[in-house]
Amino acid sequence: MSRSGEFELIRRFLAPLATAPGAGGLEDDAALLDPPGEARLVVTTDSMVEGVHFPGGGPPGLIARRLLRTNLSDLAAMAARPEGYLLNLALPERIDDPWLEGFAAGLAADQEAFGLSLFGGDTVATPGALTLTVTAFGSAAAPVRRSGARPGDRVFVTGPVGDGCFGLKAVRGELEAPRLAERYWLPTPRFGAAEGATAAADISDGLIADLGHICRASGVGAVIELEAVPLSPEVAALGTQARLEALTGGDDYELVFAARESAAIPVGRIVAGGGVTVLDAAGEPVPLARQGYAHD
Amino acid sequence: MSRSGEFELIRRFLAPLATAPGAGGLEDDAALLDPPGEARLVVTTDSMVEGVHFPGGGPPGLIARRLLRTNLSDLAAMAARPEGYLLNLALPERIDDPWLEGFAAGLAADQEAFGLSLFGGDTVATPGALTLTVTAFGSAAAPVRRSGARPGDRVFVTGPVGDGCFGLKAVRGELEAPRLAERYWLPTPRFGAAEGATAAADISDGLIADLGHICRASGVGAVIELEAVPLSPEVAALGTQARLEALTGGDDYELVFAARESAAIPVGRIVAGGGVTVLDAAGEPVPLARQGYAHD
């Protein structure tokens, strides 16, 4: 096959990404993690399967960067700063060296952008679908969890909601919106935004669902003002139904969080009780067909 | 389908395994890792694909324990003690709740045996093969790497070599050896054995190949006395060819290490130069068909 063997693949494509001393040039059975000083060490992991979590045949550099950024977004939700990551690749036979070169170039670009090192990983062959796992490490002086929201907090988001699901339509050619396609492939982890929040999550399952996770973990409810939710112009132009879809579409990787105050965009408030209620401009509850993307 | 959705699956099968406070009951986007005091934090990760790294249709509890133990073996090779792990599951549709129940029971048994907590993970659907990733964390007061072997060190192994490859034959029904089949499914991580070693690795690619990794990383060579290499009686009974196969078969998960002294089994010595030479009882070099299992 036109792919380097495991050792050659590591030497050529992955070892150059392992810049941290603790990675030992990927020569060891395990990596050493440097302690983050006074901060807590935070770890998160996400797996992606081609054809399930991203469209088949996508550009390898963008697949790499999206994989990395969706994990970094989880660190940002914990109010952590990024340190490095492990990479597990299960590669079908069709993955060749040019693909791996593009994939590694994407990782290198985002390592540079976010100040990361590869720490280690594992590369295996699979008869099935391309399966990618990143485990990302960060440090947090004051980690934010999902369980600290209290009635009286306001609810904030860090950017437009719905770019993930409408971006996917753009990637699939179902919508003419090149900027949203780019937003799908290259979400921006919102480092710093959740600092000082009482509870935070990244929007991967949809605003309503992820805010629902915060509510359940915190034992509170939330009210969202539909008109306050920021939308990209391309999404706003699609009308009322799209506005509702944006609330329950996933893959935005903006943050939703509860806080007393923030420079981010206020969209609602935390209340006693449970669940998430969306109110229209007249203050009437909006019926939602579903709470979010119940992926598995 | 007869499988719980992602959230229900986490609640039912995985959350009970997340006993560490930092895991936050798997409610958060990320886990907090408790610092190991004066020790260094060590991390390792391995992926396994059904049909590639273990036989299809195997018992879920044994698959779980082997997955965990092969990772723990990497920690043992670094002279680390186990702390906990992340679990990434890519599940084909046929994986149902009884399978998951057996899998979780296997994890619970080995968490108890080795003093571990689940820290977090990710569960996704795949149209392809069952793909399992464990990322294991340990603490090491004096981590042992592959690069410290020096001429004059002796080479040790922690147990019989070849049980992995002949155990796989037993699992496949090609060899009548139930004890080896059990050794295949349940390798024993050799915690403590590598403490004080100058260099160590676990035998996953085969004794010769893994000792070769140590030699390359250390800039030395090694000589192995064929007659000194311990074999299980079932393997020894298969004759000379099997003895050579045992040296290059993988999946043993015993440790091979270089040290001045050890209570483990001496099998050779570190020398100047490079590469691994095997000597027979007459002191003549034994030609090896291959160095080890060049997996990918």
Q: What sign has the CA pseudo-torsion A271, A189, A250, A245?
A: positive
The mean pLDDT value of chain B amounts to 92
Q: Which residue of A has its CA nearest to B295?
A: A6
* CB within 8 Å: A33 and B48: no
- Decide: pTM greater than 0.95: no
Dist. CA B73–CA B85, nearest whole Å: 13
Residue A135: count of CB within 10 angstroms of its CB: 27
Which position has the token pair 């790499």? A64
Distance in Å, alpha carbon of A181 to nearest chain B alpha carbon: 23
Is the pLDDT confidence value at B23 over 90? no
SS3 A69: helix
**Which residue did the predictor score with more confidence, B2 or A275?**
A275
**How many angstroms separate the most distant Cα atoms in chain B?**
63
H or E segment to which residue B164 belongs: helix B163-171
Is the pLDDT confidence value at B1 over 80? no
* CB within 8 Å: A31 and B42: yes
Q: Write the residue in B29, B133, B143 that is nearest to A133 by C-beta.
A: B133
Contact list in A for residue B23 (CB cut-off 8 A) is none
**Model pLDDT, residue A294:** 41
Dist. CA B2–CA B25, nearest whole Å: 25
Is the pLDDT confidence value at B296 over 70? no
Domains of chain A in start order, with CATH, are: 6-140 (3.30.1330.10), 154-279 (3.90.650.10)
Is the pLDDT confidence value at B78 over 90? yes
In order of B195, B228, B261, the CA distances from B269 in angstroms are 18, 12, 11
Contact list in A for residue B29 (CB cut-off 8 A) is 44, 74-75, 77-78, 146, 200-202
Which position has the token pair 């090779």? B77
What share of chain B has pLDDT > 90, as a percent? Answer: 80
Question: Do the Cβ atoms of A78 and B30 come closer than 8 Å?
Answer: yes
Helix axes B163-171, B178-185, angle to 10 degrees: 110
Query: B151 exposed, middle or buried (CB, 10 Å; 0-12, 13-18, 19+)?
Result: middle
**Model pLDDT, residue B2:** 65
Dist. CA A190–CA B208, nearest whole Å: 48
Dist. CA B162–CA B233, nearest whole Å: 11
Dist. CA B86–CA B98, nearest whole Å: 22
Q: Which residue of A has its CA nearest to B217?
A: A27
* CB within 8 Å: B31 and A46: no
Q: Write the residue in B42, B53, B129 that is nearest to A30 by C-beta.
A: B42
Question: Do the Cβ atoms of B212 and B167 come closer than 8 Å?
Answer: no
Interface test with A, best of B6, B11, B29, B53 (most A CBs within 10 A): B29
Dist. CA B151–CA B272, nearest whole Å: 6
* CB within 8 Å: A124 and B24: no
What share of chain B has pLDDT > 70, as a percent? Answer: 96
**Model pLDDT, residue A296:** 35
Question: pLDDT (tens digit, 9 = 90+) per residue, B134-186?
Answer: 999 999 999 999 999 999 999 999 999 999 999 999 999 999 999 999 999 99
Dist. CA A287–CA A265, nearest whole Å: 23
**Nearest alpha carbon to residue A121 among A184, A31, A46, A185:** A31
Strands B40-49 and B131-140: antiparallel
The first and second tokens of residue B257, run together, are 């290490």
**Model pLDDT, residue A26:** 77
**Model pLDDT, residue A2:** 65
* CB within 8 Å: B49 and A121: no
The first and second tokens of residue A290, run together, are 């579903």
Distance spanning both ends of chain B, measured CA to CA: 33
Question: Do the Cβ atoms of A242 and A165 come closer than 8 Å?
Answer: no
Contact list in A for residue B211 (CB cut-off 8 A) is none
Dist. CA B88–CA A134, nearest whole Å: 10
Per-residue pLDDT of chain A (296 residues; tens, 9 = 90+): 467 777 788 888 888 888 888 777 777 778 888 766 778 899 999 999 999 999 988 999 999 999 999 999 999 999 999 999 999 999 999 999 999 999 999 999 999 999 999 999 999 999 999 999 999 999 999 999 999 999 999 999 999 999 999 999 999 999 999 999 999 999 999 999 999 999 999 999 999 999 999 999 999 999 999 999 999 999 999 998 899 999 999 899 999 999 999 999 999 999 999 999 999 999 999 988 665 544 43
Distance in Å, alpha carbon of A282 to nearest chain B alpha carbon: 34
Distance in Å, alpha carbon of B186 to nearest chain A alpha carbon: 19
Q: Write the residue in A75, A122, A294 that is nearest to B45 by C-beta.
A: A122
Q: Which residue of A has its CA nearest to B32?
A: A42
Dist. CA B153–CA B166, nearest whole Å: 30
The first and second tokens of residue B153, run together, are 């060190």
Interface test with B, best of A26, A29, A44 (most B CBs within 10 A): A29
Dist. CA A45–CA A57, nearest whole Å: 23
> What are the phi and psi torsion angles at A154 (to 5°)?
-100, 160
Is the pLDDT confidence value at B133 over 80? yes
**Model pLDDT, residue A28:** 77
**Which residue did the predictor score with more confidence, A253 or B250?**
A253
In the A/B pair of chains, how many CB contacts fall below 8 A?
207
Contact list in A for residue B129 (CB cut-off 8 A) is 126-128
Dist. CA A74–CA A46, nearest whole Å: 9
Q: Which residues contact B44 (CB under 8 A, 6 or more apart)?
A: A29, A30, A31, A120, B71, B74, B75, B78, B135, B136, B138
Dist. CA A64–CA A86, nearest whole Å: 13
**Model pLDDT, residue B33:** 85
Strand order in the sheet with B81-91: A31-33, B40-49, B131-140, B81-91, B117-125
* CB within 8 Å: B143 and A202: no
H or E segment to which residue B142 belongs: none
* CB within 8 Å: A135 and B135: yes
Distance in Å, alpha carbon of B238 to nearest chain A alpha carbon: 31
Distance in Å, alpha carbon of A255 to nearest chain B alpha carbon: 11
* CB within 8 Å: A127 and B128: yes
DSSP letter at A131 equals: E
